[in-house]
Amino acid sequence: MPLLQVKDLTVRFDTAGGTVHAVSGVTYDLEPGETLGVVGESGSGKSVHVLAMLGLIPKPPGRIAGGQVLFEGRDLLTLPERELRDLRGKKIGMIFQDPMTSLNPVLTVEAQVAEAITSHGLMSRSAARARAVELLDLVGIPEPRKRVKQFPHQFSGGMRQRAMIAIGVACEPKLLIADEATTALDVTVQAQILDLMKDLKRKLSMAMIWITHDMGVVAGLADTVQVMYGGRIMERGPARAVFNDTRSAYTWGLLRSLPDHSEGRVYETHTPGQARKRPRLRQIAGAPPDMTDPPPGDPFAPRNPFAISGCFQEMPPLVQARDAAPGHLVAAWYDLPKALAARPDLAGKGEGA
């Protein structure tokens, strides 16, 4: 049985300017131990879709307009708040961006890691303090016995992020959700954290949802890649398939905006552990959509050089892509491989990068 089953999750924000269609009909399964990379530009609905599952969107203006989120068979969307609170941090660990604001500046690292454990009644205070040292060691913080007594400001950015990871995995969750967890770090430290995560997911055999706007980050980490835009899943499948047999024009645009991308190389070159340079990026032309009362159709259509008239009329369903790997899904009325073959001017690589 899947660990997590997201079924038709739909989230709206009712604002003075109209209804924001933040997440629309998001559906997927996550298996135990699977790492899912969720990718998309800012405003795609990546954060809101996980915050909604965890009962963490502000209501109002937010509301769950439909769907189910089954975690080990229980619907998180109808779970009493008390049970949801116990699940968060225990069976579902979380790591967010900006550990400086997430860590409490007036408490030692030890107090904060221990608190993550004792708040769920899993251990005594003294046992939790001993465990805190083990956890700092696990996440690669040197001299953990000494470091555990320090305050967050005595840690570097990378070390603070490691401490946040220690808190996220303190209760050995079944699922770890990381939202832009390495975005604030420089590329070298980011690569180290990604290496750590690969190591941890093996040691702790936990499933992960790794959210990032950076395609390069998920390449070496994720088993499955899910590309979101306008609150919808545009493409989803085994990482290799999504990178090397891309079917959504949006994914294709994201991949082209990666530095030194050429066909088939992204997957090999952008692995964690290799710091990479960030030369000038080739952006996708046009701006991300305003999701307030959006027009019908595929939200990416106005920016899509391969859009056909149907794209402006109706959102295509997310279905198995033709002649693609099993489980490689795409939401597109156009056929990207054919469209690219017909437009060698656009398919050309290297220009602008």
Ligand X SMILES: Nc1ncnc2c1ncn2[C@@H]1O[C@H](COP(=O)(O)OP(=O)(O)O)[C@@H](O)[C@H]1O
User: Which one of 4, 9, 22, 175 is in contact with ligand X (CB under 6 A)?
Assistant: 22
Span near Mg ion by CB under 5 A; candidates 44-52, 56-64, 188-196, 266-274: 44-52
Least distance to Mg ion, CB of residue 254, Å: 15
Q: Which is nearer to ligand X, 206 or 211 (CB)?
A: 211
Asked if 299 and 230 count as a contact pair (C-beta separation under 8 A), the reply is yes
Q: Residues binding ligand X: what is the number (CB under 6 A)?
A: 16
Q: Does 97 bind Mg ion (CB under 5 A)?
A: no
105 binds, among ligand X, Mg ion, none (CB under 5 to 8 A by kind): none
Q: Which is nearer to Mg ion, 47 or 108 (CB)?
A: 47
Q: How far is the C-alpha of 296 from the C-alpha of 312, rounded, in Å?
A: 7
Least distance to ligand X, CB of residue 44, Å: 4
Span near ligand X by CB under 6 A; candidates 28-36, 56-64, 136-144, 153-161: 56-64
Q: Does 45 bind ligand X (CB under 6 A)?
A: yes
Q: Which is nearer to ligand X, 48 or 315 (CB)?
A: 48
Q: How far is the C-alpha of 69 from the C-alpha of 4, rounded, in Å?
A: 7
237 binds, among ligand X, Mg ion, none (CB under 5 to 8 A by kind): none
Residue 13 is encoded by which pair of tokens? 């924000």
Span near ligand X by CB under 6 A; candidates 55-63, 75-83, 215-223, 300-308: 55-63
Q: Which is nearer to ligand X, 110 or 179 (CB)?
A: 179
Site residues for ligand X, 290-329, by CB under 6 A, read: 291
Nearest CA to 35 out of 177, 213, 152 is that of 177
Least distance to Mg ion, CB of residue 184, Å: 13
Q: How far is the C-alpha of 209 from the C-alpha of 27, rounded, in Å?
A: 14
Q: How far is the C-alpha of 305 from the C-alpha of 250, rounded, in Å?
A: 10
Residue 143: CB atoms within 10 Å: 10
Asked if 189 and 158 count as a contact pair (C-beta separation under 8 A), the reply is yes
Q: How far is the C-alpha of 170 from the C-alpha of 90, rounded, in Å?
A: 8
Span near ligand X by CB under 6 A; candidates 54-62, 147-155, 182-190, 315-323: 54-62
Alpha-carbon separation of residue 66 from 23, 110, 205, 222 (angstroms): 10, 41, 31, 28
Q: Which is nearer to Mg ion, 45 or 237 (CB)?
A: 45
Q: Does 20 bind ligand X (CB under 6 A)?
A: yes
Q: Does 15 bind ligand X (CB under 6 A)?
A: yes
Question: Hunting for tokens 């008239």 — which residue is that?
Answer: 309
Residues 6+ apart with CB under 8 A from 4: 29, 30, 69, 70, 71, 175, 207
Q: Does 238 bind ligand X (CB under 6 A)?
A: no
Collapsing DSSP to helix, strand or coil, 30 comes out as strand
Q: How far is the C-alpha of 181 from the C-alpha of 99, rounded, in Å?
A: 9
User: Which one of 24, 44, 47, 161 is in contact with Mg ion (CB under 5 A)?
Assistant: 47
Interface residues with Mg ion (CB under 5 A)? Answer: 47
Interface residues with ligand X (CB under 6 A)? Answer: 13, 15, 20, 22, 40, 42-48, 58, 61-62, 291
